[in-house]
Amino acid sequence: MLMQSRFQDNFVAPNLSDPRLSSKRAYRMLIDGASRDAVSGQVIDRESPGHRGCVVGAWPQATAEDVGGAIGAARRAFDHGPWPQMSGAERSTILHRVAEGVLAHLEELALIECLETGKPLNQARGEIEYCADLWTYAAGQARGLEGDTHNAIGANRLGLVLREPAGVVGIITPWNFPFIIVSERVPWALGAGCTVVVKPSEFTSGTTIRLAEIALEAGVPSGVFNVVTGYGSEAGQVLAEDPRVDVLAFTGSVRVGTHLASIAAASVKRVGLELGGKGPQIVFADADLEAAADGIAYGVYHNAGQCCISGSRLIVANSVRGALLERLLDLSKRLPFGNPLGEGTRYGAMVSQPHLDKVASYVSAGVKEGAELLLGGDMVAATSGNYFAPTVFDKVRPDMRIAQEEIFGPVLATIGFDTPEEAVALANGTPFGLSASVWSRDLETAIQTTRRLRAGRCWINSVIDGTPEMPIGGYKKSGVGRELGRYGFDEYSQFKGLHMTLGRPQPWFQH
């Protein structure tokens, strides 16, 4: 029934003469409320990954000197500026205005995000709208942040736990969801009263710079929200090294995250890490297979699979494996992918040619190790952009590289199971623990399974879902710390214990 097919009729070719590609946007960094070029004068050009040869943006290539200046500005704004001293209500009002500014620039931001990342324009619009909601939520919470009291520690003693802003926060973000990830960190850090220096990915810096400009216009004081652009080892690493930075919030690969955590240890700074994933999607025999097939397609193809919370491992009851794969293959062959500017496109381009090559090398590894390639496995129209076909493997063994490592592409690895215990062991059997889905009509099965999964974000009968209220973060090598919800504010707060003695203190030495 199931055969390998190099099916590409659903590829939507990009239009290289689309007028939206004609202008290259030149950006400057935002440091201490002013637009700045790099001291070296060097810039990084960004070509649209979906439109070969079309340069769509350029930003400064910062060195350690530029980043040091931004850290100095954030430090001054924290130690001497108004932001940490403001009431929660005042900060909240300004953060609400940022949310309004984001919505007012939705089309502009979505187009930049689409052209720099290669994701579909429609998807980018939804993401910007979601980001405005992240700012709105954090703005609302910012005036409700509170400490604690201890009133039962003795008749003449009273304990207060003071919540204070943690200080200067260095934030390093990746290229796959530039605007979402910066908006999952900055409003919480600012809401807590911190100041920030953000270093976005060298591939996708445009919307982060625009966000800082929008925040400045909304009333965030100079020096509170700084952006430096450039390469990781040159500009990013300084944020981990510099003792003037109190907290480092890193989102990206396990390799860079562990490297930065070891550097940050020298200045004993708090480190939050949001790293990679290898999300399992467990499908029980009683699941609604139609809904599950759609969810599995979304889970693995969304953002061309370049998603930390992708559902890239299908762990399916052997009794329904054939039926589910049949539905999934049918869907995969009809899914419009390609041109990021096409309104119907479900997924667009991969971020870069080297990343495309890496995804292709995983497909070769899967074939070599004996997995069965049912669909795709190849690059498409490589002359017009970085496109990769929907790819489905069956008969994957749990020890294969395609079952263990984060591929970060539209590549699904299917593993069958016979018992619920086996499903849980397979789902937990990688070094990652970022997200997981369970598909079943039986709520008890679904909940009991989810309780045994070692993953920070779980879904029942859905995938890649989130709201500002709910925490995100990883178990195991997927990271440390939690962002969003009320938990996110704790990452950017210090808690001070204040012990008060009421009346005359008990003498230590009687004489």
Residue closer to ligand NAD (CB basis): 148 or 469:
469
Q: Please give the Cα distance from 212 to 437 (Å, whole number).
A: 35
Contacts of 87 (CB under 8 A, 6+ apart): 143
CA neighbor of 181 nearest in space, from 300, 78, 309: 309
Q: How far is the CB of 344 from ligand NAD (least distance, A)?
A: 26
What are the two backbone dihedrals, phi and then psi, of residue 358, each rounded to the nearest 5 degrees?
Answer: -65, -40
Q: How far is the CB of 50 from ligand NAD (least distance, A)?
A: 18
What are the two backbone dihedrals, phi and then psi, of residue 349, each rounded to the nearest 5 degrees?
Answer: -100, 160
Contacts of 42 (CB under 8 A, 6+ apart): 60, 61
Q: How far is the CB of 203 from ligand NAD (least distance, A)?
A: 7
Q: Of residues 47, 127, 274, 491, which has the active-site annotation?
A: 274
Residue closer to ligand NAD (CB basis): 105 or 185:
185
Residue closer to ligand NAD (CB basis): 230 or 295:
230
Report DSSP letters for 376-441, one per residue: --SEE-TTTS-EE--EEEES--TTSHHHHS---SSEEEEEEESSHHHHHHHHH-SSEESEEEEE-S
Q: How far is the CB of 255 from ligand NAD (least distance, A)?
A: 7
Q: How far is the CB of 230 from ligand NAD (least distance, A)?
A: 8
Q: Which residue has the tokens 């390609």?
A: 338
Residue closer to ligand NAD (CB basis): 189 or 325:
189
Q: Which residues of 125-153 are buried (b: 16+ CB within 10 A; e: fewer)?
A: bebbebbbebbbbbbebbbebeeeeeeee
Q: By the criterion CB under 6 A, which residues form the site for ligand NAD?
A: 172-177, 181, 199, 201-202, 231-233, 236-237, 251-253, 256, 259-260, 274-277, 308, 406, 408, 434, 474, 479
Q: Please give the Cα distance from 139 to 92 (Å, whole number).
A: 4
Taking a C-beta distance cutoff of 8 angstroms, is the pair 401, 369 a contact?
yes
Q: Of residues 54, 131, 194, 308, which has the active-site annotation?
A: 308
Q: Which residue is nearest to ligand NAD (CB)?
A: 232
Contacts of 193 (CB under 8 A, 6+ apart): 83, 84, 86, 91, 164, 165
Q: How far is the CB of 432 from ligand NAD (least distance, A)?
A: 9
Residue closer to ligand NAD (CB basis): 375 or 458:
458
**Any catalytic annotation for residue 308?**
yes
Three-state SS at 29: strand
**Any catalytic annotation for residue 274?**
yes
Residue closer to ligand NAD (CB basis): 202 or 246:
202
Residue closer to ligand NAD (CB basis): 226 or 440:
226
Rg (CA), the chain: 24
Q: How far is the CB of 110 from ligand NAD (least distance, A)?
A: 19
Which stretch of DSSP H or E encloses residue 140? Answer: helix 121-142
Instruction: Give the catalytic positions in this structure.
Output: 274, 308
